[in-house]
Amino acid sequence: MADPPLKYAHVERERRWLVDPTGALPDADDVLEISDRYVTGSRLRLREVRSSDGSVARKLGHKVRLSAGPEEVACTSLYLDEEEWALLAALPADELHKQRRRLRVDGRVVALDLFGGHCTGLVLVEIDGSPALTPTDAGVAVVAEVTNDERLTGGGLARASRQQVLAVLASYDVPRA
């Protein structure tokens, strides 16, 4: 397969860790409420982001993997108005809801995601880029790095049942909150 064209894409190189949901979490610089809809049978994601100031952003995202696993992807996004959002939100999709707490450490953003719905009890921390920055630098105690665990990607979680999410957490000995 030929390499995908990256002219309009942003390359993400994320690392992810499971967080102990019973532990203390650091204060966030800002908080976002995120609802994702992974469109059935596609690589498309509809995302609605509600900021603490009341603003709402809606976008259509497309992700293409640049390697065998989920650690490196090319992302392209289109911002949608309300009519476009309503049209696309009618497509069949699997949903995922989370609160994203963003922390800034040494000028870099650390995303702490607290999941709701069928993923309640799951807390992940994501750091884009350099392996030199770790969750410990942000004051976050982690259980395990899960960067390459397909079950803990957004699409994997959206498609999972509550029982499957609990089984994944149990496989890492994550305490129940």
Residue 177: per-residue pLDDT? 73
Report yes or no on whether pTM surpasses 0.85.
yes
Question: Residue 14 is inside which H or E element, if any?
Answer: strand 10-19
| Residue 45 phi, psi dihedral angles, 5° rounding | -135, 130
CATH topology for the 10-171 domain: Hypothetical Protein Pfu-838710-001 (2.40.320)
Write the pLDDT tens digit of every residue in 68-84.
877 788 889 999 999 99
Looking at per-residue confidence, does 63 or 57 come out higher? 57
Confidence of residue 152 (pLDDT cuts 50, 70, 90): very high
Q: How far apart are CA 20 and CA 177, in angstroms?
A: 8
Structural domain spans, the chain: 10-171
Confidence of residue 130 (pLDDT cuts 50, 70, 90): low
- Give DSSP secondary structure letters for 70-110: TTEEEEEEEE--HHHHHHHHTS-EEEEEEEEEEEEETTEEE
What is the percent of the chain where pLDDT is above 70? 96
At residue 59, does pLDDT exceed 90?
yes
